[in-house]
């Protein structure tokens, strides 16, 4: 599987058209099986399947750390689209109710109201007491680092990215994917499996910040999320309830801060 492929495209300007090759981002389904049963299918850019599955399981509440996995893997044959996860017996008992409601948390349902979503998520999330402080200029600088790590986006113009930093703003993990949720899951999964997630304090996102992104950040115990685009109202509601800091870039190269402004200081 390839994260991108060359395709012939026709570019027309006025009455003049020409054919040339353009690199386009790959998109394939990934079936995540948990305890031998299908749990969810996500559309993603091929690559880093182990990290993706690990981050997804953390976001869903199926695991709290790498020690909860009995096994995690995927077929090493070409064109495989299945990741398999088994849990330690003790963990399997703890999350038995989640295993029965496969795929519920990871899906956005048009028929569920915002209050119910927040209440449902808060059952597996807890507010953060982290008091990390960074300056506005430091946060903006981290967002500006996106342009240096988005190699797939530079080639395809179609990839989202997520970056994780520690309290000293050292880069811990970075991932790109056609899906913004997948990019964050992959970055979180990389830090989780490399035993660096406990150090993570800041996530930088190339996309808008929806409630799913806040949920994933909260499960990873990230107190600060900064994105390129503005959050949704439900994301702010969820972030506020979890004592998180949510911010995005402003046009003047500053930040709009929507909640948790005490973590962002001027220096």
The residues annotated with a catalytic role in the active site are 110
Q: Which two tokens stand for residue 140?
A: 């903006």
Distance CA 245, CA 236 (A): 9
Closest CA relative to residue 202, chosen from 124, 260, 153, 252: 260
DSSP E strands in 26-159: the ranges are 28-34, 37-44, 69-74, 82-87, 134-135
Closest CA relative to residue 167, chosen from 126, 196, 209, 124: 196
Strand order of the β-sheet with 224-227 is 171-177, 160-166, 200-205, 224-227, 245-249, 255-259
Spatial contact of 176 and 205, defined as CB atoms under 8 Å apart:
no
Closest CA relative to residue 138, chosen from 175, 157, 165: 165
Distance CA 233, CA 214 (A): 12
Q: How many CB atoms lie within 10 A of CB 248?
A: 19
Q: Which two tokens stand for residue 243?
A: 């004592």
């Amino acid at each position: 599987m390839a994260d991108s492929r060359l395709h012939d495209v026709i570019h027309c300007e006025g009455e003049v058209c020409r054919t040339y090759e353009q690199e386009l981002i790959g998109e394939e389904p990934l079936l995540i099986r948990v305890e031998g049963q299908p749990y969810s299918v996500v559309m993603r850019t091929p690559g880093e399947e182990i990290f993706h599955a690990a981050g997804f399981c953390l976001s869903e509440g199926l695991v709290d750390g790498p020690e909860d996995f009995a096994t995690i893997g995927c077929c090493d044959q070409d064109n495989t689209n299945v990741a398999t996860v088994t849990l330690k017996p003790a963990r399997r008992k703890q999350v038995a109710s989640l295993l029965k409601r496969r795929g519920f948390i990871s899906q956005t349902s048009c028929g569920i109201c915002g209050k119910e979503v927040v209440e449902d998520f808060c059952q597996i999330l807890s507010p953060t007491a982290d008091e990390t402080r960074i300056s506005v200029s430091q946060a903006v600088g981290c967002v500006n680092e996106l342009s240096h790590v988005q190699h797939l986006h530079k080639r395809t113009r179609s990839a989202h990215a997520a970056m994780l930093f520690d309290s000293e703003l050292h880069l811990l993990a970075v991932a790109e994917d056609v899906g913004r949720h997948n990019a964050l899951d992959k970055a979180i999964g990389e830090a989780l499996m490399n035993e660096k997630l406990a150090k993570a304090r800041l996530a930088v996102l190339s996309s808008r910040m929806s409630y799913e992104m806040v949920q994933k950040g909260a499960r990873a115990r990230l107190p600060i999320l900064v994105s390129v685009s503005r959050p949704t109202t439900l994301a702010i509601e969820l972030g506020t309830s979890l004592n998180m800091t949510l911010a995005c870039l402003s046009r003047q190269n500053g930040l709009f801060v929507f909640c948790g402004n005490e973590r962002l200081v001027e220096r």
